[in-house]
Amino acid sequence: MLDKFLLKKSEPALPDSLLKRLNEARKKPMPNHVAIIMDGNGRWAKQRNLPRVAGHHEGMKTVHKITRFANELGVKALTLYAFSTENWKRPKFEVDFLMKLPGEYLTTYLPELIEKNVKVEMIGDFEALPKHTQQAIENARKATEQNDGLVLNFALNYGSRLELVNVVKHISELAVAQQIAPEDIDEAFVESCLMTGHLPELDLLIRTSGEVRLSNFMLWQLAYAELAFTNVYWPDYNEECLLEAIEDFQLRNRRFGSLG
Ligand code: IPE
Ligand code: IPE
Ligand code: MG
């Protein structure tokens, strides 16, 4: 009872005007798969004279907010870029902190994710993660594997070039073992070998913080995705920001090379 009250108090209901816009957006074509490059945590903290890791911690709360709202919108898959294969170049203290966040996030929010029918998944090099991070992810995967609502897909120790190298290796192994012939290899086959092979086609990519680059994220999958860039730092990103991106997406004319 007390818990419920505290939860309500710390998470105020969305204003009616936003809920109205949410309902309008739901009547229009919704992107099935949204991916977000969650950037700007460090600069958010710097602005406040806080250590960079305070920005990462605040960013975790945004993950919760945005996951919940994406679920309300009816998005089918939400891929969140949480740690790149290049982020190991950061100071050990920061990397260690980032590696603890999945555990903290899931300890806090897993019950709600289960209740809301969210399925937790991950793309990236799982084996190279610290054991405690692996355990947190594995536990959440298992606890939500029967869920068939929003797929919350963390890109953790993910790099698109590494993913593509692994696809090439896998296909070469199949070819060497004569399980496939070169003529079997087409776009659909390559697609099925990607870590996102089972997810809907990526429709919308959002990057926060004002950087306009992909930073080794989903290079194949982005071929025909719509792109949205915002100057907002990730810890400040909120439901209205996502709704704006969706409303803008719904106004676009996706031609896929045709005349539309
Ligand atoms: C994004 O925020 C989080 C990760 C890359 C892990 P940053 O830590 O990159 O924040 P900035 O870009 O330095 O502000
Ligand atoms: C991209 O952000 C990776 C994540 C958001 C996890 P970075 O902050 O690492 O990207 P660069 O270094 O500015 O390209
Ligand atoms: Mg950054």
- Say how far apart CA 199 and CA 116 lie, in whole Å: 19
Q: What is the pLDDT of residue 5?
A: 40
**Residue range 166-182, pLDDT digits in tens:** 999 999 999 999 999 99
Host domain of residue 138: 30-159+202-251
Asked if residue 180 belongs to a domain, the reply is no
**Residue range 114-143, pLDDT digits in tens:** 999 999 999 999 999 999 999 999 999 999
Residue 57 has pLDDT above 80, yes or no: yes
Domain total of the chain: 1
Residue 87 annotated to the active site: yes
Assign 12 a pLDDT band (cuts: 50, 70, 90): confident
- Say how far apart CA 204 and CA 246 lie, in whole Å: 8
Give the domain CATH number at 98. Answer: 3.40.1180.10
Asked if residue 45 belongs to a domain, the reply is yes
Asked if residue 191 belongs to a domain, the reply is no
- Say how far apart CA 144 and CA 202 lie, in whole Å: 22
Residue nearest to atom 11 of ligand 2 (CA): 215
- Whole-number Å distance, alpha carbon 26 to ligand 3 midpoint, is 31
Residue 146 has pLDDT above 90, yes or no: yes
Q: Among 11-15, 121-125, 134-138, 145-149, which is the least confidently predicted range?
A: 11-15
Residue 4 has pLDDT above 90, yes or no: no
CA 103 to chain centre: 16
Q: What's the whole-number mean pLDDT along residues 225-246?
A: 98
Asked if residue 171 belongs to a domain, the reply is no
Residue 39 annotated to the active site: yes
- Whole-number Å distance, alpha carbon 173 to ligand 3 midpoint, is 36
Output the pTM of the full model: 0.96
Which amino acid type is present at position 133?
T
Asked if residue 175 belongs to a domain, the reply is no
Q: What is the pLDDT of residue 166?
A: 98
The pair of three-digit structure tokens given for residue 241, joined into one six-digit string: 């920001």
Ligand nearest to the CA of 89: 2
Which amino acid type is present at position 68?
R
Asked if residue 109 belongs to a domain, the reply is yes
- In contact, 89 and 161? CB cutoff 8 Å: no
81 lines ligand 2 (CB under 6 A): yes
Asked if residue 242 belongs to a domain, the reply is yes
- Say how far apart CA 57 and CA 54 lie, in whole Å: 5
Q: Nearest CA to 239 among 8, 3, 15, 10?
A: 15
Asked if residue 96 belongs to a domain, the reply is yes
Assign 10 a pLDDT band (cuts: 50, 70, 90): low
Q: Nearest CA to 141 among 125, 130, 152?
A: 152
Our separate counts of H helices and E strands in the chain read 9, 6
Ligand nearest to the CA of 211: 2
The helix (H) or strand (E) run that includes residue 158 is strand 151-158
Residue 2 has pLDDT above 60, yes or no: no
